[in-house]
């Protein structure tokens, strides 16, 4: 078995953030070309998010430009999973349905949320939970916590795979 840590494990949450985007896991492997959260080629977050604010696409932007955008709009990221343990032959399998029962360390997202004193909105970048009971349980606990604290919580259409108009509309509604 190989332990794989989160690629952005040193990312510091911006404390003045008003919006938190939660994902699942960004593996720190040689085969993962993402240089930052949502940085894989088939992920369109860096198109969807700026478009929600009528700003230029940041898909090909460097990390500093993305960080400046996040700070400007008081947005920050975290993922549910900090570390997984998988067979060596499977270290390129990033599917949530594969890693769901291979988590060795979960991030304490509720503590992160409670540290964000200006937080108004939280979203999770997924709406479906078939085959991922552990991820579902983890995000449901976060949703309940947000509801208890009066923080808006929403499941958004995944930014992965294809970009289309309805997806953009949903993302724009959430961020405005």
Q: What is the pLDDT of residue 46?
A: 98
CB 122 within 8 A of CB 153: yes
pLDDT at residue 35, rounded to an integer: 87
CATH code of 16's domain: 3.40.470.10
Q: How many domains does the chain have?
A: 1
Cβ-based neighbours of 151, under 8 Å, separated by 6 or more: 113, 119, 120, 121, 122
Positions of the chain with pLDDT under 50: none
- Note down the domain range covering 163: 2-175
Q: Record the tokens describing residue 108, joined without a space.
A: 């304490």
Q: How many helical (H) and strand (E) elements, i.e. helices and strands, does the chain have?
A: 6, 7
**How far is the CA of 137 from the CAs of 67, 119, 174, in angstroms?**
30, 22, 23
Q: What pLDDT is recorded for position 15?
A: 95
So what's the pLDDT on residue 138? 98
Give the pLDDT of residue 134.
Answer: 98
Rounded CA-CA distance 165/9 in Å is 32
User: How high is the pLDDT of residue 26?
Assistant: 93
């Amino acid at each position: 078995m190989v332990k794989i840590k989160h690629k952005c494990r040193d990312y510091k949450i911006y404390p003045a953030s008003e919006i938190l985007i939660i994902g699942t896991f960004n593996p720190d492997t040689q085969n993962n070309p993402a240089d930052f959260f949502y940085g894989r080629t088939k992920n369109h977050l860096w198109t969807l998010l700026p478009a929600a604010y009528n700003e230029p696409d940041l898909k090909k932007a460097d990390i500093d430009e993305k960080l400046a955008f996040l700070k400007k709009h008081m947005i920050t990221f975290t993922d549910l999973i900090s570390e997984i343990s998988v067979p060596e032959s499977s270290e390129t399998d990033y599917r949530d349905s594969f890693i769901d029962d291979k988590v060795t360390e979960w991030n304490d997202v509720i503590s992160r949320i409670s540290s964000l004193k200006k937080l108004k909105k939280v979203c999770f970048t997924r709406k479906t939970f078939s085959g991922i009971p552990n991820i579902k349980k983890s995000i449901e606990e976060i949703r309940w916590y947000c509801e208890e604290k009066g923080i808006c919580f929403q499941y958004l259409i995944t930014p992965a795979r294809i970009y289309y108009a309805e997806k953009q509309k949903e993302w724009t509604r959430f961020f405005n």
